[in-house]
Amino acid sequence: MRMKGKVAIVTGATSGIGRAIAEHFLKEGAQVVFSSLSETMELADPNAFYVKCDVSKSAEVDNLVQAAVDKFGRLDVMVNNAGVGDSHTLVETTDEEWRKIIDINLTGVFYGARAAARKMKELKIAGNIINMSSVLGKVGFFGAISYCSAKGGVVQLTRTAALELAPLGIRVNAIAPGFIATKMTENILENKEFNKIIIDSTPMGHVGDVDDIAKAAVFLASDEAKYITGEMLYVDGGWTSR
């Protein structure tokens, strides 16, 4: 088991990519704190624990990290996965819509990385932080101005944090998924015209599934990646190779 003895937090863990990551971590021997906006989450595994958290609020993220340490005694891995989608162009986007996407998808990642790094430094743990970016953090996409901006910000946040935290032995990397079949993408992928655009833009000819991302997260969280930091791992079926 590649994560035996490690304690991990996964935000946005009630469904989709986040849940898959958290469940794969459990299978690999980790103790895992699942987190999301839901009031409760039923978890039968004694190595799993749930904490409600709004990642756009720094105090709640700090409390989440402390709750993980109070429960399991340490923190080795922080996965900043919580996020929301966007479907507005530049001229259509309101102030409120912009703030919502940036607050959750970028500022929430900053809060999570900061809280984890502070705790790892305090406990003298050479842990690692995994941020969720996107192929849309590298390329533009019509009608997703806020989302692309936030995910691009996550890329630079990751690189800079990796430089700053390397002397502490803390690794910081990001995963950049392509289009993955989840509830968040369900509506757009059901649109035949849009689905064709996605498939035609993906050299491997199909969308990914949540296990593709979860397995990448396990790799980055494990000691197999102990010399990798500041990297963007694109899991996109070749999307960004075009």
Q: What is the residue whose two structure tokens read 């749930």? A: 50
Eight-state DSSP code of residue 239: G
23 contacts 44 by C-beta, under 8 angstroms: no
Q: What's the CA gap between 173 and 207, in Å, rounded? A: 23
2 contacts 218 by C-beta, under 8 angstroms: yes
157 contacts 113 by C-beta, under 8 angstroms: yes
Q: Is 147 a catalytic residue?
A: yes
Q: Which of 50, 111, 147, 234 is catalytic?
A: 147
The token duo for 81 is 């996965």
Q: What is the residue whose two structure tokens read 């720094």? A: 58
130 contacts 220 by C-beta, under 8 angstroms: yes
59 contacts 112 by C-beta, under 8 angstroms: no
The token duo for 107 is 């500022």
Eight-state DSSP code of residue 180: B
Q: Which positions ≥6 away from 230 have C-beta within 8 Å?
A: 158, 159, 162, 163, 166, 172, 173
> Using CB atoms within 10 A of its CB, is residue 1 exposed (0-12), middle (13-18) or buried (19+)?
exposed
Catalytic residue IDs: 147
